Structure 1
Amino acid sequence: MKTHRLLPAALAALACAGLAGCGAMPGSAPAARAELKPTTGNTASGVVDFSQAGGGVAVVAKVSGLKPGQEHGFHVHEKGDCSSGDGMSAGGHFNPDGHPHGPQDAAHHAGDMPSLKADANGNAEARFTLTGVTIGSGATDLVGRGVIVHVQPDDYKTQPTGNAGARIACGVILKR
């Protein structure tokens, strides 16, 4: 009978899968996910993954059902509540430090994220790192907050919302 060197790695992978993802393994970086669902009359949906990475939080977003070729405002909101059909139950932008709304390279709300840019098919993928937020502890914790995709681009100037318009998708950030 042959012994395979890959057997321990395969067993580790199976164990990891049995724990609903490696983010659940002891000693791994805190992780969270928001599953975006369309608000009433809209089609945008997707998933946003968050993982603690050094002094920030890495974000990976995959969203479909957007207006092709358009930018869409994208924010973490203060409440993890998507119960209203228009997404307004998620409250305002997550802003525990009281900063003005703005782009990542200036003073901004903790929940201000780069806009999503849809391709010709209405799909968007984004990867970036947020600073000043955490997963799982403290006043800047993203867990239990809402994620909103807006119908229009964020102008990063208009206070306090960025003039991004209606909310077309909403999801709640849950620890993984």
Structure 2
Amino acid sequence: MRQRTDGRHAHRLNALALAGLLGLTFAFGGCTTIFGNHEKRAQAQLRPTAGNGARGTVTFVERADGVQVTYNLVGLPPNSDHALQVHERGDCNAVDGSSAGAVFAPTAARLKSGVRVEGDLGNLHADETGVATGFIVAPDLSLDGVRSVLGRSVLVHRDTSDPAFAEHGAGPALACGQIRQ
């Protein structure tokens, strides 16, 4: 035997299902609103090496297209260009920054002449007051796994880097800082 309905019972069920679905959407979709965005971040406080005055902050934020490296540095020579590089070890104890080791290169790129290695972030420019601010996107780095910069050091060098002459280096370090979460 069939029971006749005038449609109110079916509408009530649909309304309850829709309310439940909306509740789940807000509960899960609203997590970033409630708890904030949990992007992977790291930071380094750069301190001057012996005889230099350069210092500042370098922040690393993992994005879909790589790691965004934002720098805010002061105390650089006015109107000058410098290499910004991630080095293998998170050790800035040597007065000249040499304890940080070689430039970070997790792949075989370091073996190819004229190829920029992953840790060579590029060059930055200090203005007439010795301040350098900006950002670089490093597509080959991450904040976890083999290409992670965590626990390594970031250095600002006196000279610029040139991948065609990588064996010449970028001169002595002006500042060094360990990359930490």
What amino acid sits opposite 1:31 in the alignment?
A: R
Q: Where in structure 2 are the equivalents of 1:22-171 lying within 5 Å?
A: 28-100=38-110, 107-135=115-143, 137-160=144-167, 163-171=169-177
**Structure 1: distance between partners of 2:131 and 2:85:** 17
**Structure 1: distance between partners of 2:47 and 2:145:** 27
TM-score between the two structures when normalised by the length of structure 2: 0.75
- The Cα offsets for residues 81-137 of structure 1, whole Å up to 9 and x where unpaired, read as 0000000000000000021389xxx842110112110000001012121011111x2
Unaligned runs of 5+ in 2: 1-34
Q: How many residues align?
A: 147
- Highest CA radius of gyration, 1 or 2? 2
Q: Percent identity?
A: 35
Pairwise CA RMSD: 2.0
Q: In 2, are the aligned partners of 1:101 and 1:112 still within 8 Å (CA)?
A: no
Q: How far 1:27 moved relative to its partner?
A: 5.4
**Structure 1: distance between partners of 2:173 and 2:111:** 17
- The Cα offsets for residues 52-97 of structure 1, whole Å up to 9 and x where unpaired, read as 1113011110111111111011100000000000000000000000
What amino acid sits opposite 1:158 in the alignment?
A: F
What amino acid sits opposite 1:108 in the alignment?
A: R
Point out 4+ residue stretches in structure 1 off by more than 3 angstroms: none
Higher helix share: 2
Q: In 1, are the aligned partners of 2:66 and 2:138 still within 8 Å (CA)?
A: yes
**Structure 2: distance between partners of 1:67 and 1:79:** 26
Unaligned runs of 5+ in 1: 1-24
Q: In 2, are the aligned partners of 1:152 and 1:164 still within 8 Å (CA)?
A: yes
**Structure 2: distance between partners of 1:156 and 1:108:** 5
TM-score between the two structures when normalised by the length of structure 1: 0.77
SS of the counterpart of 2:134? strand
